């Protein structure tokens, strides 16, 4: 290297390829006349395709997520008429796996060489998952704060039914709120991966203790489930589900009235665990709720992803019966 030379001036093709590999960049070129793409090996791996000398856009389009396909097609057709750099993020499907891809290039035929345009693909799945996680967390935290305020009001009303004096009510309400704090701690992951969180029955008892009466009508909540361990991640998801069901019950269901009762039972069938949440004695149910709120969608998605399971609702006139199905093999995670 001579004095004054830039380090880039002595880079050869091998150095450039090392840099591209280090950045995990996939390369493509697009012939604007026949619409075919030539791609490097990394690009074919990203798209889950066997290597070939070229590939048509329609072959790639078949792997684009149906919800993104029209948007990507419109952007692809517009690249030759829109000047400047472009970047578009979209999902592709590789079997059951979904990846996020960022396609970047130049529009309006800038840099065209022998009728071919050039650009890159980047796998941005990790970044997109982090963004989605942040959005979900923000929505979840807002939802939880609203729920906690509703629960605090419900617990105050619940405590006033059995308290004989202001002093008794104060003491009982503080006990309930303290129990609520213990239960709420289980709705977030344990720090440091502390392993098994609790036995299933103990976990449910902690989560439901704030809603139990200590007066003459104690015993309104009954739990009878198989004896089994629940892991850290599973405990967090199960706590969210129970927290959501209990909140709705305090607002509208059996736990909103003095005569209401709640029975939680469980059974196992092969690799499945079934938990049945059965309310009775609450306000009469005259129609099925919409169940389209954030909380309902959140717990359904959590059950499907964490437990490979499902949550079914049966809206009897006497009260809600919810059946939660979970894979036993996923309970200890």
- Give the tens place of pLDDT for each residue, 291-332: 666 567 767 877 887 788 888 989 888 889 999 999 888 887
Q: Is 42 or 287 the better-scoring residue by pLDDT?
A: 42
Instruction: Indicate the range of 72-76, 185-189, 282-286 predicted with least confidence.
Output: 185-189
Ordered domains of the chain (ranges, CATH): 7-123 (3.30.450.20), 128-330 (3.30.565.10)
Q: Which two tokens stand for residue 237?
A: 């998801």
Higher pLDDT, 234 or 68: 68
pLDDT of 8 higher than 60: no
Whether pLDDT at 263 is above 90: yes
pLDDT-derived band at 6, boundaries 50, 70, 90? low
Per-residue DSSP letter, 320: E
Sheet strands side by side (includes 97-107): 55-56, 36-39, 25-31, 116-123, 97-107, 84-94
The residue among 110 and 90 whose pLDDT is bigger is 90
Which is nearest to 214 in space by CA: 159, 165, 255? 159
pLDDT tens-digit map of 296-305: 776 787 788 7
Overall average pLDDT of the 116-144 stretch = 77
Structure tokens belonging to residue 19: 């840099």
Instruction: Pull the structure tokens for residue 297.
Output: 């969608």
Residues 134-169 pLDDT 10s: 766 666 666 666 666 666 666 676 566 656 678 767
DSSP letter at 62 equals T
Report the distance separating Cα 300 and Cα 292, nearest Å: 11
Mean pLDDT for all residues in the chain: 79
The answer to whether the beta carbons of residues 127 and 135 sit under 8 Å apart is: no
Give phi and psi for 320, each to the nearest 5. -75, 140
Instruction: Please give the span between the terminal C-alpha atoms of the chain, in angstroms, as a whole number.
Output: 57
Q: What percentage of the chain reaches a pLDDT higher than 70?
A: 75
pLDDT: is 158 or 267 the higher one? 267
pLDDT score recorded for residue 153? 66
Reply yes or no on whether the pLDDT at 194 is more than 60: no
Are β-strands 261-269 and 221-224 bridged in parallel, bridged antiparallel, or unpaired? parallel
What gap in Å lies between CA 148 and CA 180, rounded to an integer?
Answer: 9
Percent of the chain residues past pLDDT 90, beyond the cut: 19
Average pLDDT over residues 277-297: 76
């Amino acid at each position: 290297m001579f004095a004054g030379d830039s380090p880039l001036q002595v880079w050869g093709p091998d150095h450039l390829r090392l840099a591209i590999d280090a950045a995990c960049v996939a390369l493509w070129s697009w012939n604007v006349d026949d619409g075919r793409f030539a791609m490097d090996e990394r690009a074919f791996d990203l798209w889950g395709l066997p290597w070939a000398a070229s590939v048509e856009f329609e072959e790639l389009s078949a792997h684009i997520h149906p919800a993104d396909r029209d948007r990507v097609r419109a952007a692809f057709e517009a690249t030759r008429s829109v000047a400047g750099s472009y970047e578009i993020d979209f999902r592709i499907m590789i079997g059951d796996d979904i990846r996020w891809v960022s396609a970047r290039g130049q529009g309006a035929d800038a840099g065209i060489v022998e009728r071919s345009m050039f650009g890159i693909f980047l796998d941005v799945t990790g970044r997109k998952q982090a963004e989605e996680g942040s959005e979900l967390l923000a929505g979840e935290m807002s939802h939880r704060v609203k729920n906690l305020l509703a629960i605090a009001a419900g617990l105050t009303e619940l405590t006033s039914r059995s308290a004989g004096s202001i002093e008794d009510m104060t003491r009982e309400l503080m006990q309930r709120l303290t129990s609520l704090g213990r239960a709420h701690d289980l709705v977030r992951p344990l720090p440091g991966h502390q392993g098994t969180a609790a036995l299933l029955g103990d976990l449910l008892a902690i989560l439901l203790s704030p809603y139990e009466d200590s007066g003459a009508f104690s015993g309104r909540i009954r739990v009878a489930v198989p004896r089994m361990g629940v892991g850290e991640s599973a405990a967090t998801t199960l706590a969210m589900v129970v927290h959501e069901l209990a909140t709705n019950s305090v607002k509208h269901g059996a736990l909103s009235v003095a005569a209401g009762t709640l029975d939680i039972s469980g059974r196992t069938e092969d690799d499945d665990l079934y938990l049945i949440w059965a309310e009775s004695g609450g306000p009469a149910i005259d129609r099925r709720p919409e169940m389209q709120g954030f909380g309902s969608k959140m717990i359904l998605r959590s059950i499907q992803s964490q437990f490979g399971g499902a949550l079914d609702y049966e809206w009897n006139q006497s009260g809600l019966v919810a059946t939660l199905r979970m894979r036993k093999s996923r309970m200890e995670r």
